Chain A
Amino acid sequence: MSQMTCKSLAIITLAGVIIQMIGLSLFVWGFFPVKPALTGVSGPESYRAPAFDSDENYGNISLPPHQLRSLYQDLSGIPPSFDRLILLVIDGLPAEFVLGKDGNPPRKAFMEAMPYTQSLLANGMAIGYHAKAAPPTVTMPRLKAMVSGAIGGFLDVAFNFNTQAMADDNLLGQFSSIGWKMVMHGDDTWLKLFPGLFTRHDGVSSFFVKDTIQVDQNVSRHLVDELSRDDWNLLILHYLGLDHVGHIGGRSSLLMAPKLAEMDEVVKMIHTSILTRENDQGWTLLVVVSDHGMTENGNHGGSSFEEADSLALFVGLRGHVSDYKSATQNTAQQVDIAPTLALLLGVPIPKNNVGVLIDETFDQLKDDHQLRALELNSWQLFRLLDAQISCLSCANISLNDFSDGQPSVTTECNDSLEKMFCCLYMNAAVLHSTWKSKKVSQSSSWEDYNSTVIAYHKFLKTASEWLSSRATDKPVDLLAFGVTAMLLSCLVLLSLTLHMGREINLIEKLHHYHSNNDMQMCFLDEIFVLGVILILVISMASSSMVEEEHYIWHFMSSTLFLILLRKTVQLLPAQNSLSKGTKNFKFQMCSVFVLLISGRILRGCHQGGVNWTHLPDISKWLENSGGVHVKTVQLVSGVSVVILGFCFLSLLSSKKNVILVVGFNFLVSGLLVLVHIVKYQENAFARSSYGATISAQMIYAVLGSTTVGTAVLLPWFMPIQISKVGSSRDIYSSISVPSDVKDKSLLMALKDSLYVIGWAYIFSWCLLQLLLQQPINAMPILLLLVQILTSLLHFSYSGLHHKEWVEISTLYFLGMAGHFALGNSNSLATIDVAGAFIGISSHSTLLSGVLMLIITYASPLLVLFALVVYMSVKGCLVTQNVNSGHLLQTMLGFPCLVPLTLNSILLTAYTIVLLLMRNHLFVWSVFSPKYLYVCATSVCIYIGIFVVAATGTYTYLVLGKRKIMQYIELLQKNQELVVPAAFHRISFKNMAALKHCFLLSMIVAFSLSSFQMSMAARNLLQAPAGPLPTLPPMPKVALPPMPSIPTLPQATLPPLPTLPNQPTLPKLPTLPPMPAAPKVTLPPLPSNPIPTTIPSIPNIPSTIPTIPFLSPPPSN
């Protein structure tokens, strides 16, 4: 059997990983298309029938706005219904709150909270719809859908944190081309989507999720002024507060009814002003929409009814008397808003719209105008169809069919796709023209009209549905290539692992590590691990298994532990031979029990998934029992983590000095984290204050520098015990092999340093998680740590009884089970967004993304870091007769290869599953989010394995070099040995290189730590100094008149990065912490109107646009 060298192994592994990355990115690129869109903007040609010669081009887009406006009016043939539009967006408002559900009116508390809106609905002054939003139900894609009528690709979610200007044809662009003046107050997503389009705007950030009051005050304060002005045509108001209320307390939050009442006030204010000013400024239409709904817990992102149930409420339509009863069941699509508004306001329908106009909103128009509106919408959709279906030519079915006056209407349209659309379209067109001709001859009947409307609707509905589902069009070759690459890399990694396994087996056989007895044992654990992989792959094909994946991981890992227990019992020596081994085995048994128990508690922490989330679990129980208990549990867990960490470190008893130094450094960071928990995590308010941000940054810096410092410097200082030098032959042979490992001392030093470095990784990671995770998750973090430490101990005691790959797979399963135990699921809604902003003082997509990854993948990464310790505990058992590369290979081989292989199998299998499921009903709501998770897991594995491999290699190289140096020093001391000249050369070269390496690593470590420290220091110093040069008087002028908050610390004023010379108001990223006062006053006042509780607010708005964190803590 050919032995692979270490280098070639590494290169092949790397190649496999790179192939996998390429394949994965190609697949993602192909499967989540950036939707196929028509370029350009609808112009006057949209009022012409789609010509079959399709060359007509007006080319007069460059008309001045008012001319274009009148041109549109002339061409459309519909008198403009409205001159002004107020778009009131209430973020996250489920339509159910306003309209009720399934024929039932909404909840009584909500009805009473919105008296004005309900009266509008009851009087027929308004008409409301359940507007079904497409997943992903997050703000930006939904806003895009509303203004463009197009359904975006799934990956728009990824851009939700990185909003960028909207390039496609949309309503706002159309309005601007006819010279409308637009004003926007509210969510700054609008400003990012449409930069420079608004004449006035006041953006508030959805960055501060805990703020439920100020964020809306900042919108409402402009309302009176804006309503009295007449210099705008479009006013967009985007209220974020309700969404924030949902995020904090869910649907049944105590703050919900007051928030709805506030929104009702806004509607009332706007509507009364519309009514009073109706005649001087033309007709104004008020449209109240929400971008998405929310689940019972207040989350959103998926496609359940609760999340997709957004509102579309049209207020101010004339001559419409709606039946209130039916309003609860009025349904539409969210994309329907775009064509409806376009037609009502007299602009062309955006090019990529797939929506259908909402019929009832046109009831005020005459019959011919209504038909014209339907016709325009049909033309637009027909153009889109024409662009998407290459051979959609209706020329064959010529218009001559109806020229004889007796059209062959109502032909059944069951042909192929193209023909069906053609046929439906022609049917409608023919009926329409017949109706027109009959109308001229005064013979048109109600029936003709009706059948025309029906025919149009049939075409519109069919086309709209087909176009919506069309967003899943995929380039086949790209997908095939991606899947092939992934399969290839999977095979490469798999064969490498098998190769490693064979090699190790050979060595073990050579050294007779297995007695004959052991060899006979049935390898139940190995079979089971393989079975788990198979089961996982199979279960991925079931949507409910994907939703409830946490059950599988827990079930599998627990079963694996039980099998380990069985194996331990098997290995138990017979009772009569009471050797000291029995104690060892007893310890192993106990460790399995600890694993099982902590695993079960972890499983009970979060009732994840979809179907059984309502069942009681430990986190709900803790939350309900009050903040004090949560805090106590959190503190106890934090202290236990620290204690446990140090106990674990002290297991390495041989190197006292090293332990003292490293331990002390980490004690500092541990204490910092504990202090942070005590001081800042009391409530949501303090958690995001400025002091907390600084403290978190300090912790990042200290943890980062200590960990990196330990990893880089430790190998240089780890004492290597110098054994007595044997004969000079040894030394000569050691020259031929650069770093010989025949001496055990090197191995010991390697093990010890890896142990300490791995411990540093684990410990600092746990501390970081204690800082970042929700307070509820502190106990699970502790349990995870316990599990990992116990399993490491178990494996270290069990020696060679388990196969190495089985142990690493066990750790991997443990990590995945822990991933779900921390409250994660395969739905995008469970990502902890709030935690991703801890310690960040300004909005940074990259940093937030990194933090989010750290929080979400806490458990798998912890396991990967634990592999460093695992290497030290297990990896270097082969000590004889091997060269240096081989040692590295046996040490690093399995810990790196096994996770990579497991992950690549799962990734490849799931990719294929996703391909097979591409037409499944749940592909966008279940399988695609899961795929995003799988991709993120792969990224985590890459990162973790890189860290493991880099640490192992670096430590090994450094120690090897030092070892040689020691030999040389010894040689120079013992002058009796004759050292050949050549050897001198080599040794000096070596020494020089060694010194360089050492210097370099010192520089890296120090620069890194000093950089981080200086960052922290700068942030600290910035606190008082930052705002002064830019806007000295501001803090004092703005803040003092707050009577309700007596003690206002001046030391912690916010940094104001970009301030003066802007026409608009400056932004304040953070507000000085206002300690306990609002927290005490706010939450227990569900009945009071919120605004009255903070009397001093009116003073602030003139200077500060956003004052975050005035919110009360989550109320349960």
Chain B
Amino acid sequence: MVKASTTENPSQSVSPMQTFFIHLICGVGLAVGLWVAHNFYSISLISNPSRTLRLIWVTMCPLVILFYSCFRKNPEKCSYLKAVIRGVLALPIGALVNALGAIALGAPVGIQYFPKTVNWSLLMSLFTFVPAASVFGSSWEDWRRIFAHTKPNASVDYMICLPAHGAVIGAWFGAWPMPLDWERPWQEWPICVSYGAMAGYLITMVLSFVLVLARGRQQHPKAD
């Protein structure tokens, strides 16, 4: 692995096992958050969305930042601590961007919605911004490649790009049932959007693992 990092690929290459491990950790973090909320505080997304969302993002935050920082770009120039700080800084910034995006798409504005929106956008920031910030820092080209062009090259790109897109697209689709007149409690902002985001995140994590695996298989014969 050390050898790999010295080759032309500036970021550390990631083996499928590592991908699997990271995704598993993230998924488990998500599940633990939900489980803790349900069993210890006996709340759920429906009964108390903002507290539940807070629990989830607080659980996931250290996991995401600490583990993704291991795969930072240019590990020689950039210390682990710096990557962690980058991730921590990216959390509120990403939350702001996500919140603005959600509001632009019609999320309700108002004092009673404020905590919900904040917690939801912090969670979304963990799904989208924080991993990228930990890994790429402020490298504009990489950000543009991942988020504007959606052209992941390395394995780590897949690990960041796919779940982030999955979470956003999932949240977008999650908003669809909101205007229907089913009068279910989960049609409120941001419950079904959160469900959609989590579902999209989980699904694309699996997809990302599969793609990294396939990439590894493809490259393996080449190396031979």
Contacts and interface: CB of A to CB of B under 8 A. Distances in A.
Interface of A: 522, 542, 544-545, 547-548, 551-552, 554-555, 558-559, 561-562, 566, 569-570, 572, 574-575, 596-597, 599-600, 603-604, 609-611, 615-616
Nearest to B183: A611
B51 to A, nearest CB: 24
A569 B150 CA distance: 12
Given A558-B104, A600-B106, A551 B178 contact: yes
Say what secondary structure dominates the interface of chain A. Answer: helix
Interface in B84-141: 101, 103-106, 108-110, 140-141
Nearest to B145: A570
Contacts of B110: 616
B148 interface: yes
A590 to B, nearest CB: 14
Contacts of A558: 104-106
B143 to A, nearest CB: 9
Contacts of A597: 104
Given A547-B181, A551-B179, A609-B179, A574 B141 contact: yes
B144 interface: yes
Interface of B: 101, 103-106, 108-110, 140-141, 144, 147-150, 172, 175, 178-182
Contacts of B181: 544, 547-548, 610-611
Contacts of A615: 108
Contacts of B101: 562
B104 A566 contact: no
B104 A600 contact: yes
A102 B96 CA distance: 49
B144 A555 contact: no
A569 B144 contact: yes
Contacts, number: 55
A539 to B, nearest CB: 9
A559 B179 contact: no
27 contacts: A542-B180, A544-B179, A548-B180, A548-B181, A551-B106, A551-B178, A551-B179, A554-B106, A555-B175, A558-B104, A558-B105, A561-B104, A562-B101, A566-B147, A566-B148, A569-B147, A569-B148, A570-B144, A570-B149, A596-B104, A599-B104, A600-B103, A600-B104, A603-B106, A604-B109, A610-B181, A616-B110
Contacts of A559: 105, 172
Given A548-B179, A569-B148, A570-B149, A555 B141 contact: no
A544 B109 CA distance: 23
Contacts of A616: 110
Given A569-B144, A569-B148, A544 B180 contact: yes
A553 to B, nearest CB: 10
Contacts of B140: 575
Contact of B144 (A522, A572, A599): A572
Nearest to A609: B179
A548 to B, nearest CB: 4
Contacts of A566: 147-148
Given A561-B104, A570-B149, 16 more contacts: A551-B106, A554-B106, A555-B106, A558-B104, A558-B106, A566-B147, A566-B148, A569-B148, A570-B144, A596-B104, A597-B104, A600-B106, A603-B106, A610-B181, A611-B179, A616-B110
Nearest to A599: B104
Nearest to B109: A604
Nearest to A574: B141
A528 to B, nearest CB: 11
Contacts of B103: 600
B166 to A, nearest CB: 16
Contacts of A609: 179
A485 B218 CA distance: 54
A459 to B, nearest CB: 37
B159 to A, nearest CB: 21
Contacts of A599: 104
Contacts of B104: 558, 561-562, 596-597, 599-600
A575 B180 contact: no
B106 to A, nearest CB: 6
A561 B104 CA distance: 10
A599 B140 CA distance: 28
| Residue of B144, B148, B182 with highest tally of chain A CB at under 10 A | B148
B3 to A, nearest CB: 31
Contact of A545 (B144, B147, B149, B180): B180
Given A555-B106, A559-B105, A522 B150 contact: yes
A545 B147 CA distance: 32
A713 B45 CA distance: 65
A610 B180 CA distance: 11
A555 B105 contact: yes
Contacts of B150: 522
A460 B179 CA distance: 41
A603 B101 CA distance: 14
B190 to A, nearest CB: 15
Contacts of A570: 144, 148-149
A181 B178 CA distance: 59
A258 to B, nearest CB: 36
A143 B214 CA distance: 73
Closest 7 CB pairs of A and B: A548-B179, A544-B181, A569-B148, A551-B179, A596-B104, A570-B148, A558-B105
Contacts of B180: 542, 544-545, 548
A928 to B, nearest CB: 18
A279 to B, nearest CB: 57
A547 B182 CA distance: 13
Nearest to B140: A575
A81 B100 CA distance: 71
Contacts of B148: 566, 569-570
Contacts of B141: 574-575
Contacts of B182: 544
A615 to B, nearest CB: 8
Contacts of B108: 615
Contacts of B178: 551
Contacts of B172: 559
